[in-house]
Amino acid sequence: MAGKMTGAQMVVQALKDQGVDTVFGYPGGAVLPIYDEIFQQNEIRHILVRHEQGATHAAEGYARSTGKPGVVLVTSGPGATNAVTGMTDALMDSIPIIVLTGQVPTFMIGNDAFQEADTVGITRPCTKHNWLVKDTDRLAETIHQAFHVATHGRPGPVLVDIPKDVQFATGRYVAPAKASTGHYNPQVKGDIDAITAAVEALENAERPVIYSGGGVVNSGPAASQLLRELVSATNFPVTSTLMGLGCYPASGANWLGMLGMHGTYEANWAMHDCDYMLCIGARFDDRITGRVDAFSPQSVKVHIDIDPSSINKNIHVDIPIVGDIGHVLEDLLRVWKARGRKTRSEAVAKWWAKIEEWRAVKSLSYVNSDSTIKPQYALQRLEALTKGRDRYITTEVGQHQMWAAQFLGFEDPNRWMTSGGLGTMGYGMPASIGVQVAHPDALVINVAGEASWLMNMQEMGTAVQYRLPVKQFIVNNERLGMVRQWQELLHGERYSHSWSESLPDFVKLAEAFGAKGILCDNPADLDDAIQEMLDYDGPVIFDCVVEKHENCFPMIPSGKAHNEMLLGSASTKGAIDVGGAVLV
């Protein structure tokens, strides 16, 4: 469809032409013309959230679980500012979302008009790029460009701010194929000399480790497939960051578990002692490196990343390869095969023997109890009772998030949605909505802490309205558990404001929303209660009352190296020194 239309019509047409089937939004004065157009069509489904932050996280959940960008539509002023946290979250975790905001009419901009905010100014640092469209003739092209920027190179959030007069005025619509996408076209093919150098180092590796991350998910299913092929062909051990879980299956023979601050003993020791580190789409985050001057001191480091600014940011690497993982791994495997598929297999076998010793430490073990539900046990039972199902997990932020990462096994990418970089409490509930909208028949569970869950619990209304059978599995320790743990280790057990007082009765709360509530506080009843949750065809709030003062281990204290990991409660007193205490 070409020719003249109103700006509001263009918005809807551009979304259709971009293949959008769902928009998460909330109306207001400055977007009424667009809502009017949405009302008059049936191709795009609009999900009415209860808070604009919810819309952004729902769009993130949609995007992360499908590989397609998520779309948000909100009004000017407070609608836009409420969306800021979600955009920052998406920026940190490289999630493609397109946020469309209404703005006061162009002739009122700068006048402190009703519900005016400098949206492009406020969101400049929390978007990959943003645009204020002042001319209806430029609107369609700008929206197409926004989709291009959000989904090419390192994905991220973008925002298009559309004044109300631009929505009313008519102009010429430009279809995606005819729209200029500008000059933003990041390189996807890796430099073949660098790839060859990486292969050469791989062939010589005696103590290799593959450190994979969220970039593998970003790159798409082919990248995960190639990663699996590389691991099985070389027999190298593989670990992943929080963001990359599922790219290599947790049931795979070479899986070391997650690495980093709350990663496994074997993963972190392998990172520390390796002589060859192949980093695939991870960004050497401080949760991973610990103290950087003690990070993996003996290894040759290869880093594959599409964003040159991720390379050498925290850790100096020896062989940087800028490109898309799918493309680079394909070339890397081809070069390695052409050179005769060489590895130092005997040395690697010895290295595996060493790794098995570390594995034997069983760093995820915990002391179970007959009388109270241990949070780890709750996650283990959840895993056991949902394994093999078409399952998607979202989380909130805190200890429960780490236990979920440790005790749930992910067999495929796009099945694990969590706020890693920003660590946004309140992410998981709306994210589960976005995931369920995208996968109506799948099992979608939000593993939550009670404190985080309260931050966006209004979205239960959305779940009920749209009959989204999301399961809210609240690991309720009546504490801001992760904060409490740090206060125990760092601040002399002075638990300043780190408990959840006056909690709602979650069962009654569920009923008030028109959902089902389940309470369980006895380990003996847990399996039946979880089964009841799974069998219920509709949204559930599951109040899993757990041990209040459980700590999450293993843990590498701030400012320490991988080989200074804490394994359990015995060794925690004074574990974080003054230098580490200033860190986060």
Partner 1 sequence: MNALAIKKGSSRKSAYDLRNPLDEHQETHTLTVLVDNEAGVLARVIGLFSGRGYNIDSLTVAEVDHQGHRSRITIVTTGTPAVIEQIKHQLERMVPVYSVNDLTVEGPSVERELALVKVNCTGEKRVEAMRTGEVFRANVVDSTLESFVFELTGGPEKIDAFVALMVPLGLVEVSRTGVAAIARGV
Ligand X SMILES: Cc1ncc(C[n+]2csc(CCOP(=O)(O)OP(=O)(O)O)c2C)c(N)n1
What is the rounded distance in angstroms from the CA atom of residue 557 to the CA atom of residue 564? 8
479 binds, among partner 1, ligand FAD, ligand X, none (CB under 5 to 8 A by kind): ligand X
Least distance to ligand X, CB of residue 414, Å: 24
Is 482 a catalytic site residue?
A: yes
Residue selected from 315, 397, 404, 480 as contacting partner 1 according to rule CB under 8 A: 315
312 binds, among partner 1, ligand X, ligand FAD, none (CB under 5 to 8 A by kind): partner 1
H or E stretch at 581: helix 578-581
Nearest to 203 by CA among 330, 318, 335, 311: 335
What is the rounded distance in angstroms from the CA atom of residue 481 to the CA atom of residue 584? 16
Q: Are 413 and 476 in contact (CB under 8 A)?
A: no
Is 114 a catalytic site residue?
A: yes
What is the rounded distance in angstroms from the CA atom of residue 470 to the CA atom of residue 196? 47
Residue selected from 116, 273, 305, 547 as contacting ligand FAD according to rule CB under 6 A: 305
What is the rounded distance in angstroms from the CA atom of residue 164 to the CA atom of residue 162? 6
Burial of 200 (0-12, 13-18, 19+ CB in 10 A): middle
Least distance to ligand X, CB of residue 422, Å: 8
Instruction: Give CA separation, 313 vs 155, 257, 285, in Å.
Output: 18, 25, 9
Is 115 a catalytic site residue?
A: yes
Q: Which of residues 466-485 bind ligand FAD (CB under 6 A)?
A: 482
What is the rounded distance in angstroms from the CA atom of residue 56 to the CA atom of residue 88? 10
Q: Does 397 bind ligand FAD (CB under 6 A)?
A: yes
Q: Which of residues 501-560 bind partner 1 (CB under 8 A)?
A: 558-559
Residue selected from 27, 481, 523, 557 as contacting ligand X according to rule CB under 6 A: 481
What is the rounded distance in angstroms from the CA atom of residue 116 to the CA atom of residue 121? 12
Those residues with Cβ within 8 angstroms of residue 502's Cβ, 6 or more apart along the chain or in another chain = none
128 binds, among partner 1, ligand FAD, ligand X, none (CB under 5 to 8 A by kind): partner 1
The residue among 63 and 402 lying less far from ligand FAD, judged by its C-beta, is 402
Q: Which of residues 45-74 bind ligand FAD (CB under 6 A)?
A: none
Contacting range for ligand FAD; rule: CB under 6 A; set: 19-27, 239-247, 342-350, 364-372? 239-247
What is the rounded distance in angstroms from the CA atom of residue 431 to the CA atom of residue 395? 8
The residue among 195 and 482 lying less far from ligand X, judged by its C-beta, is 482
The residue among 250 and 581 lying less far from partner 1, judged by its C-beta, is 581
The residue among 26 and 131 lying less far from partner 1, judged by its C-beta, is 131
Least distance to partner 1, CB of residue 191, Å: 14
Instruction: Give CA separation, 57 vs 354, 363, 417, 520, 540, in Å.
Output: 42, 33, 10, 28, 19
Is 229 a catalytic site residue?
A: no
Nearest to 432 by CA among 82, 59, 92, 51: 59
Residue selected from 273, 305, 450, 550 as contacting ligand X according to rule CB under 6 A: 450
The residue among 381 and 439 lying less far from ligand X, judged by its C-beta, is 381
Q: Does 197 bind partner 1 (CB under 8 A)?
A: yes
Q: Does 151 bind ligand FAD (CB under 6 A)?
A: no
How many Cβ atoms from other residues are within 10 Å of residue 106's Cβ? 16
420 binds, among ligand FAD, ligand X, partner 1, none (CB under 5 to 8 A by kind): ligand FAD
Place of tokens 């008519």: 170
Burial of 162 (0-12, 13-18, 19+ CB in 10 A): buried
The residue among 413 and 421 lying less far from ligand X, judged by its C-beta, is 421
Residue selected from 59, 140, 198, 261 as contacting ligand FAD according to rule CB under 6 A: 261
Q: Which of residues 78-97 bind ligand X (CB under 6 A)?
A: none
DSSP string, 196-219: HHHHHHHHH-SSEEEEE-HHHHHH
Classified as helix, coil or strand, 413 is: coil
How many Cβ atoms from other residues are within 10 Å of residue 290's Cβ? 26
Catalytic residue among 9, 18, 60, 164: 164
**Residues found near ligand X in the complex (CB under 6 A):** 396-400, 423-426, 449-452, 475, 477, 479-483
**Residues found near ligand FAD in the complex (CB under 6 A):** 93-94, 154, 213-215, 218-219, 241-244, 258-263, 281-283, 285, 287-288, 304-307, 310, 324-325, 397, 401-402, 420-421, 423, 482
**Known catalytic residues?**
52, 114-115, 164, 482
